[in-house]
Homo-oligomer: A and B are copies of this chain.
Amino acid sequence: MTTPRPGLRERKKQATRAALREAALRLAVERGPDQVRVEDIAEAAGVSPRTYNNYFVSREQAIVSAVTADREARIAAALAARPSGVRLADAVTEAVVEQYTNTGEREHKALLLITTTTALRKAFLDTTAGIEPPLTAVIAERLDDPGAHTARVLAASVAAAVRIALEDWLRPSGNPEAVRNLDAVGLVVPSGSLPDRLRAALSPLAPAFDAAERRTQP
């Protein structure tokens, strides 16, 4: 339903976007993030620099998007997939945790990179805002909230909480030595457990979800 017809045009676009973000990530990992010019990324993707800017508004966004990809959509989908019987707060929490937990090999190197560079960390944290719209839609449906006023606030709060959790998680970024050590062992987790931090950050919002849920299904 969401894919009536891919269309050749659309496929090419997605291919270009993918090529750009992969190139951006690869180059950033190979040389340092500061040693990658837009021109390089565009060339590696077989595209003009101007076109690159039609897809990404900043170099950081391109690199980060290779890790973030379509996390927003996957979170929304994960939430929609949960049985409607469970408490909404729990469903949201688990959906979020789930999507931030599956960490592959490639993401490790990338996360490493992001941890060390300020600009990249900022860009990475900014991606949390992207989960807002899809989350709003799903929550609004569960709450039977056509105007989606409270759904929007709740979704935005979730995004903010996730942001805070991630902030804390990759805080000790000013310590290159520790990072290097972790790199040697193949670990990324800078400090503590991400799932735990996510749950902790989201838990204060649970009462708000409960109240909203109670309001529609007494």
In the complex, the count of this chain's copies comes to 2
Q: Closest CB-CB distance, A123 to chain B, in whole Å?
A: 15
C-alpha spacing A157/B161, complex, angstroms: 8
C-alpha spacing A202/B153, complex, angstroms: 8
Q: Is A212 an interface residue (CB 8 A)?
A: yes
Q: Is A149 an interface residue (CB 8 A)?
A: yes
C-alpha spacing A103/B206, complex, angstroms: 35
- Is A212 touching B204 in the complex (CB atoms < 8 A)? yes
Which residue of the partner chain B has the closest CB to A152? B164
Q: Closest CB-CB distance, A178 to chain B, in whole Å?
A: 22
Name the B residues within 8 Å of A163 (CB-CB): 156
When each residue 187-218 of chain A gets 1 if its CB lies under 8 Å from chain B and 0 otherwise, what string results?
A: 00000000000001111111110111000000
Q: Is A68 an interface residue (CB 8 A)?
A: no
- Is B164 touching A160 in the complex (CB atoms < 8 A)? no
C-alpha spacing A85/B68, complex, angstroms: 44
Q: Is A154 an interface residue (CB 8 A)?
A: yes
Residue picked from A201, A204, A206, A207, most chain B C-beta under 10 Å: A204
Name the B residues within 8 Å of A173 (CB-CB): none
Name the B residues within 8 Å of A164 (CB-CB): 152-153, 156
Contact of A200 among B149, B159, B204 (CB under 8 A): B149
- Is A204 touching B153 in the complex (CB atoms < 8 A)? yes
Contact of A150 among B150, B157, B204, B212 (CB under 8 A): B204
Chain A, range 127-141, C-beta contacts under 8 Å to B: none
Q: Closest CB-CB distance, A170 to chain B, in whole Å?
A: 16
Contact of A205 among B153, B200, B201, B206 (CB under 8 A): B153
The 4 closest A-B CB pairs, nearest first, are A156-B160, A207-B211, A157-B157, A208-B208
